Structure 1
Amino acid sequence: MSTDTWIALYPEQERNRTLARRTPAGPKAPRPEPGKISQSHDPSPRMDGRSWLMLIVLSVLWGGSFFFTEIALVDLPPFTLVLGRVAIAAMILWWVVLLRHIVIPHDPKIWLGFLVMGALNNLIPFCLIVWGQTHIASSLAAILNATTPLFTLIIAHLATQNEKLSRRKVIGVLTGFIGVIIVIGLPDAMEASISNVTNIAALAPFAVLLAAVSYGCAGVFGRRFKNTPPILTAAGQTSASSLMLIPLCILIDTPWNLPFPKTETILAVLGIAAFSTALAYILYFQLLNRAGASNLLLVTFLIPVSAILLGVLFLGETLALRQIGGMVVIGLGLAVIDGRLFFSRKGD
């Protein structure tokens, strides 16, 4: 799951809630002059200790999805694993929807939108990442997945009229893609692919990057759900992706021919569904309301770190110095896009 996708879905809701919390009540509340931009650089409130703790936990939950995937792939093929993830998560999320007494929509257009979101935000990226992890380490997949904000900005620039790339964001995107080239060693990877067309493993890093593109498309498409309760959107899209995955599992994985999975595989599927998907969505929306979208972008920096630590400590993975350096450059690009470290918000 992409952080940037959900930030893109509900920016106006979050901004309105945040400004409402910070604007003084009563007739003496200050009003901006017509045509004058507020001097506040960021409407998001300061992060307190609890918000930081929630942010770290969220990064571990989402970073843990790469860890759980690596364990479950020992026994399960990609489509079956992804189906288990989204189906169990959907059941948990619908339970939360019912507990909160959220009205379930009857408009077919909304459900068709859930179907598209399920494909763009779950089915396509989850399957690509899981397949990629059959050939590359979980930590490398997490680093490449951190490029989602880069693709989201490009897609939003091309597909919308009011979200064009600023000079700062162009610099950040270019910096991020330089990091990608460093991580995967693009010249070497292209040479390997050309010299050996049967070397499917060489395509694994590009599959994860394509997943990031899909997340970016979901972020732009999903803005039509800005007036829909976020937890309902999450439940709807995971349900839709579950339905789409069933025939794929039957036709490709033939799960009835698979041996019964080991205990650690079952626990990994439960972990990625309950913790890295359902609980992560719930915690994300709470933190979005508490800390704001700009602060929540920080989780993009922390997810690869969490995935790397889990991979190194529990899976025995190692990263080349080139990949670590590339991760730093990608992080630098994201920091430039965020703007708080290198640029004034007024000087975009």
Structure 2
Amino acid sequence: MALRVWFWLLSLSVLWGGSFFFAKVAVSELGPLTVVFARVGLAALALDLALAATGHGLFRPGTPWRAHFAMGLMNNVLPFGLIFWGQTQIPSGLASILNATTPLFTLVVAHYVTDDETIDRTKVAALLAGLAGVAVLVGRNMLIADVGLWGQAACLGAALSYAFAGVYGRRFRAMEIAPLEAAAGQVTASTMLILPIMLIVEQPWTLPAAPSVLAALAGLALLSTALAYVLYFRILAAAGATNLLLVTFLIPVTAILLGSLVLDEQLLVRQFAGMALIAVGLALVDGRTGRRLRPAE
């Protein structure tokens, strides 16, 4: 990847790593669906205004709303809801580690729904390493239906949803949709999807919100969603889905540091061991480490 793409990738890892911190603060007082709505709604407002300023608003003939709604469901509504609920049960750092399994799920999804990304022996090894990492993370409670386990399962479900979104999102490049429009379209569609569900389930007008929670929502929406998705689609167009998902190497680092320094969260040794195994799986997916270690012929 070009140097500028690496810079975008590092910036995206900080923005998305910070989202786990912002969400943990927000769900301390608000319901998960309310946080999802605030995240995508504020992001949609910011991105739609930015798009309108370029003279290419979303609400015009020919806008691919079906694609925007599908992407919004798989990349926003489902995973955000699952992660935010999961963070009411587990630390934000652990949620970010489980989110790092996204490329491993992507291997399986891409194998079955695409013609050009089949699983080979290296990818099987990556999957086994990643599954072992998840098993270590969950620990002895894997077969016990306790609350912490369900929180971890929710985060894994979000990673699976992201995997489907990553494969589906490749069509936006083929449709020649600019990164800003793709980002605005999916968060706008997500807002329409989550609004009625949120109003029925949580009645957010009855919930108090401290200034710290409002600040967290603003950071979650404007930094970790609006700005992040512009970078997301820019990297996707410039470097492809596989390179884009390398961001999951870096997200847990930001999330764990913020959780430890600000929220006083602690992770167990086995959770770091699990993250290391997942990192091995991701390195195998990437392939660059193996090529560098292989002797030249």
* Structure-1-length-normalised TM-score: 0.78
* Separation of aligned partners in 1, 2:105 and 2:293: 21
Of 184, 189, 201 in structure 2, the residue corresponding to residue 252 of structure 1 is 201
1:184 pairs with 2:138: yes
* Separation of aligned partners in 2, 1:305 and 1:343: 25
Of 137, 145, 149 in structure 2, the residue corresponding to residue 202 of structure 1 is 149
Match of 2:166 in 1: 219
**Aligned residue-pair number:** 292
The alignment's C-alpha RMSD in Å is 2.4
Match of 2:120 in 1: 166
The offset of 1:182, in angstroms, is 0.9
Q: Within 5 Å, which residues of 2 pair with 1:66-85?
A: 66-85=20-39
Match of 1:280 in 2: 228
* Separation of aligned partners in 2, 1:345 and 1:293: 24
* CA-to-aligned-CA distance 1:87-111 (integer Å, 9 cap, x gap): 0001111122223333645237x21
1:308 pairs with 2:261: no
Which deviates the most, 155-164 or 282-291?
A: 282-291
* Separation of aligned partners in 2, 1:189 and 1:239: 37
Check 1:293–1:203 CA distance in 2 against 1; reply closer, same or farther (3 A cut): closer
The offset of 1:276, in angstroms, is 0.5
Of 41, 46, 71 in structure 2, the residue corresponding to residue 117 of structure 1 is 71
* Separation of aligned partners in 2, 1:52 and 1:240: 29
Check 1:215–1:284 CA distance in 2 against 1; reply closer, same or farther (3 A cut): closer
Which deviates the most, 241-250 or 323-332?
A: 241-250
Match of 1:237 in 2: 186
* CA-to-aligned-CA distance 1:63-91 (integer Å, 9 cap, x gap): 00000011111211000011000000011
Match of 1:106 in 2: 61
Q: Which has the larger radius of gyration?
A: 1
Check 1:63–1:225 CA distance in 2 against 1; reply closer, same or farther (3 A cut): same
Check 1:289–1:114 CA distance in 2 against 1; reply closer, same or farther (3 A cut): closer
* Separation of aligned partners in 2, 1:288 and 1:251: 35
Check 1:212–1:298 CA distance in 2 against 1; reply closer, same or farther (3 A cut): closer
Kept after mapping to 2: 8 A contact 1:339/1:345:
no
* CA-to-aligned-CA distance 1:2-39 (integer Å, 9 cap, x gap): xxxxxxxxxxxxxxxxxxxxxxxxxxxxxxxxxxxxxx
* Separation of aligned partners in 1, 2:258 and 2:225: 17
* Separation of aligned partners in 2, 1:249 and 1:241: 12
Identity %: 47
* CA-to-aligned-CA distance 1:25-58 (integer Å, 9 cap, x gap): xxxxxxxxxxxxxxxxxxx33x3xx665544332
The offset of 1:291, in angstroms, is 7.1
* CA-to-aligned-CA distance 1:175-223 (integer Å, 9 cap, x gap): 11111111111x4221x21xxxxx4442110110000111111122233
Q: Which amino acid in 1 is paired with 2:54?
A: R
Q: Which amino acid in 2 is paired with 1:248?
A: I
Kept after mapping to 1: 8 A contact 2:48/2:184:
yes
Kept after mapping to 1: 8 A contact 2:170/2:241:
no
Match of 1:133 in 2: 87
Check 1:242–1:343 CA distance in 2 against 1; reply closer, same or farther (3 A cut): same
Q: Structure 1: any 5+ residue segments left out of the alignment?
A: 1-43, 194-198
